[in-house]
Structure 1
Amino acid sequence: MATKSLTNSFIRHVVRRSYAQAAPSAKSDTIQTSVLPNKTYIAAVDTNSPVARVTIAFKAGSRYEPQTDLGISHVLRSAAGLTTGCASSFIIARKLAQIGASVNASGDREFIYYTLEATQDNLQEAVEVLANLVSLQEFRPWELSDNVPRLKYELAALYPQVRAVDLLHKAAYRHGLGNSLFISPNRIGKISSESLLHYAGSNLTPTRCAVVVVGDNQDRASLIAQCLQLTGSGEEAPKEPSKYYGGELRKEMGGDLAHVAIALQGAPAGSPQSLALAVAAKALGNGPVTKWGADNSALAKCIGNIGPFAAAGFNVSYSDTGLFGAVLTVPKDEANCAVKAVANVLKKGCLPSEAVRAGRNQLKLQLLSEAEAGASLAEGFAAQALYTGTVLPPAVLAAQIDTIDDATVNKVMASAAQTKLSMGAAGNLAFVPYADEI
């Protein structure tokens, strides 16, 4: 019997930017884009919404962390809203509250996103706060010390499925994309203000920046980008590609459940293969599609009736590579047969036509549904801009998904099946097989 325990935790976090980093579609096809002289990419789409969303994104995710300061991107995200060169953290919070605006800092292995939501009437004042919050951070040592409990809470609140996927990346890539999204517990409180200032100064630069506005025009996006007081205007330094190694990492945490993430090497963002793998991930399944209903997905069928479990396919694409696989949560006693069954589906590299058709429809539904959430739309556009240098309109994205047939999906799955298997596991691992056993 399948459950929906994954749909509100790991799966929503991963799929959000997993399909070739294609942003969800907007109601208008008119997306204005340009590149400023300082190499900052700007994009805007006017949705006639009373609420405007502004996302400022940087290539500053965990893959860019130096090995001597692992976890620094997590601290940088967590420090958003602390005292800047213009205002204290109290004044920042008070100004945003008075104008009914909010700022959220999030990130993944490639990017850090600062996203503002404000009404059109107060957008100008809110943008000034956002610009200072992004480009004039000071990282005062006593405020970083006060932020330690928050970091500990964020680690304690992690879902075990997220831990499994984090271990999966470490096993697959070792360094770069293998760097964890989260700081290690023994590193909390040991990253200095000077290290944060250097990391921000090296990565929060105009050449590594994209500014996206949803709910206003390109002029607004250009003004916001020009308000950012970012240092460094030279050419972006080339990054070292992350090599896919394959392997496994396990973390024994006890309990009655085993949480396992299994993956093969996928395709880079923006490639046709990554979009086909996104369809394949949906075709594998993502839990029941009706509340309290049965799970008839390919993964559920291969696992069988072993008691309560959750299983979902996923595809994550990065600038130079990707991962395609599945994550599952099963009772510890059933882990051996369930993990081997899921691995066999991935290595088989073939899905029935009805599953592929369902995958196409579900992926399109997700793209169009997320367009209703302006913050997701803005962050998706920013990811597209930094990955491919273009932002595709919704009609193009929908048309691309419709052109993916069964043969294309099975071909890219078969290609992925030729790569080495990677696995990350957390929980009670007494009966979880090792990677070389599956």
Structure 2
Amino acid sequence: MASKGLAQPLIRYITKKSYGTAVTPALKEARIQCTVLPSCTFVAALDNGSPVTRITVAFKAGSRYEPVTEPGISHVLRAAAGLTTAHCSQFLTARQLAQIGANVTASGDREFLYYTLETTGDHLGEAMDYFNNMISGQEFRPWELSDMAPKLRYDIASLSPQVRAVDLLHKAAFRRGLGNSLYCSPKRIGSYSSESLQHYASSSLTPNRCAITVVGDCQDKAVLLSQALRLPSSGAEACTEKTQYYGGEHRKETAGEVAHIAVALPGAASGTPQALAFAIAAKALGSGPVCKWGVDQSPLARAIGNIGPFAVAGFNASYSDAGLIGFVLSVPKDEAGVAVKAAANVLKGAKLNAKDIKAGKAALRNHILTEFENGTTSAESLAAQGLYTGIAKTSADLANDVNAISDNDVLSAVNSAASFKLSMAAVGNLAFVPFVDEL
């Protein structure tokens, strides 16, 4: 199953198979149906005429909700999707889903855990039965958990250094809660018991912490699945300490000749106008060259100048009660000091003009509309919106919201963040990387 390393709208770090859906006129006319059931489960549907139906069941079970004694358990829960359930074995589940051409993925971020089913409409009923068992019938048998160790090690070993830097950046910025890593420590692999996983699942995978979304079919399918799920009914509402931004630094030395640095200031909570303003600012800061082998003309790249090969991009991450706005930089170790100081000055100084902000708006609208062309991404996005705000918007509505943000809104948001301490995380050869208090 897949792992999601970065939260919206840093686009999620995700590795999974996805079906493509052609854009048809029906997509423009489709509207979202959404409601909240008596069980407090949010359900939504977008019937866009797609021949492939995608169902996402999301829970407030991300890494921020992990017990302090079990860090990394959400990673293990993601990886355990598809193991033997109370009704069928791991082999039977995989075989039957393959026979009908269905695909199930599990992914997650700091807030949510997502289970997503992809199948054609004529096999939806049968696929939903196995999908239901995978979510609400898990048994976490000890010998199967032991067999998962190589998979967990591969998940960790395959992380890119940029993702590692952003993961450490959250730790530096928030310490606990949102600062919890998306991945378990290699030293803790094999230490999670069946009882621990069962307790975490039974307390987190509950109806009042759940959202079910359907893309390619009607809302009745989401309601039907919510009624079929055998989830504990006594789960407590997700509650955590109020997130506090601290500002700090984490460094991890590794071999190589390149340094990967992530720097950020506090952003805004998801669903607020300020969050959109920060998202525009992140795009305005730069996202790399707009064409292959092209020259990066973003504010960050202009500030760094002609120092040799480097890559830099702004990012924004918004959560239920906090956020981050910053940049990720990969640069040869000898040039790291000059490059990171120049980029940090752009971030702190809010050196964005009207032309930069206009380009940022266009890039963000394009990103939103492009993401929604992917059925799986749109299903997970609708679920996240429902859990964040209690409503779900189409890509066109979100693009209109972006248009409503003024240049002054963007500059005010970035200026308000500049008064806080910087947070920084660095991975790689850090011989010439300055410390955060030197920026």
Cα deviation code 1:96-131 (max 9, x no counterpart): 100001000000000000011101111111111111
2:340 maps to 339
1:349 maps to 350
Q: CA deviation at 1:407?
A: 1.3
2:256 maps to 255
Cα deviation code 1:131-156 (max 9, x no counterpart): 11001100000000000000011111
1:4 maps to none
**How far apart are the structure 2 equivalents of 1:165 and 1:99?**
39
2:130 maps to 129
Q: CA deviation at 1:379?
A: 0.2
1:409 maps to 410
Q: Taking CA–CA contacts closer than 8 Å with sequence separation of 6 or more, which of the two structures ends up with the larger relative contact order?
A: 1
Structure 2 unaligned residues grouped into runs of 5+: 14-22
1:149 maps to 150
**How far apart are the structure 1 equivalents of 2:75 and 2:32?**
31
**How far apart are the structure 1 equivalents of 2:307 and 2:6?**
22
| Aligned residue identity for 1:16 | I
Cα deviation code 1:350-400 (max 9, x no counterpart): 301111111101111111111211000000000000000010233321221
List aligned pairs for 1:421-436, cutoff 5 A: 421-436=422-437
| Aligned residue identity for 2:38 | P
SS in 2 for 1:15: coil
SS in 2 for 1:106: strand
Q: CA deviation at 1:239?
A: 2.2
SS in 2 for 1:222: helix
**How far apart are the structure 2 equivalents of 1:256 and 1:60?**
38
**Which has the larger displacement, 64-73 or 350-359?**
350-359
Shift in alpha-carbon separation, 1:242–1:13, aligned structure 2, 3 A: closer
Cα deviation code 1:203-227 (max 9, x no counterpart): 0000000000001111111001111
Q: CA deviation at 1:12?
A: 9.7
Q: CA deviation at 1:234?
A: 5.4
1:227 maps to 228
| Aligned residue identity for 1:288 | P
**How far apart are the structure 1 equivalents of 2:50 and 2:161?**
37
SS in 2 for 1:220: helix
2:104 maps to 103
**How far apart are the structure 2 equivalents of 1:17 and 1:388?**
19
| Aligned residue identity for 1:188 | I
Query: Is residue 30–residue 47 contact of structure 2 (8 Å, CA) maintained in 1?
Result: no
**How far apart are the structure 2 equivalents of 1:10 and 1:37?**
32
1:21 maps to none
Query: Is residue 11–residue 314 contact of structure 1 (8 Å, CA) maintained in 2?
Result: no
Say whether 1:16 aligns with 2:6: no
1:6 maps to none
Say whether 1:73 aligns with 2:68: no
**How far apart are the structure 2 equivalents of 1:244 and 1:147?**
35
**How far apart are the structure 1 equivalents of 2:181 and 2:29?**
37
**How far apart are the structure 2 equivalents of 1:293 and 1:239?**
45
| Aligned residue identity for 2:10 | V
Q: CA deviation at 1:403?
A: 1.5
**How far apart are the structure 1 equivalents of 2:328 and 2:346?**
13
1:41 maps to 42
Give me the identity figure in percent. Answer: 60
**Which has the larger displacement, 228-237 or 100-109?**
228-237
| Aligned residue identity for 2:369 | L
1:5 maps to none
Query: Is residue 53–residue 119 contact of structure 2 (8 Å, CA) maintained in 1?
Result: yes
Shift in alpha-carbon separation, 1:13–1:382, aligned structure 2, 3 A: closer
TM-score normalised by the chain length of structure 1: 0.94
**How far apart are the structure 2 equivalents of 1:249 and 1:234?**
35
Query: Is residue 104–residue 115 contact of structure 2 (8 Å, CA) maintained in 1?
Result: yes
2:369 maps to 368
2:87 maps to 86
Cα deviation code 1:43-77 (max 9, x no counterpart): 00101110000000000000000111000000000
**How far apart are the structure 1 equivalents of 2:248 and 2:373?**
39
2:204 maps to 203
Shift in alpha-carbon separation, 1:27–1:135, aligned structure 2, 3 A: farther
1:330 maps to 331
2:120 maps to 119
Cα deviation code 1:166-212 (max 9, x no counterpart): 11000111110010000001100001110000000000000000000
2:59 maps to 58
**How far apart are the structure 2 equivalents of 1:91 and 1:32?**
34
SS in 2 for 1:300: helix
Query: Is residue 38–residue 233 contact of structure 1 (8 Å, CA) maintained in 2?
Result: no
Query: Is residue 350–residue 414 contact of structure 1 (8 Å, CA) maintained in 2?
Result: no
**How far apart are the structure 1 equivalents of 2:238 and 2:344?**
38
Q: CA deviation at 1:267?
A: 0.2
1:172 maps to 173
Structure 1 unaligned residues grouped into runs of 5+: 1-8, 19-24
1:22 maps to none
Cα deviation code 1:26-59 (max 9, x no counterpart): 6344111111111111000101110000000000
TM-score normalised by the chain length of structure 2: 0.94
SS in 2 for 1:419: coil
1:300 maps to 301
**How far apart are the structure 1 equivalents of 2:54 and 2:377?**
9
2:311 maps to 310
Q: CA deviation at 1:349?
A: 1.8
SS in 1 for 2:69: helix
SS in 2 for 1:91: helix
Count of aligned pairs between the two proteins:
424
| Aligned residue identity for 1:246 | G
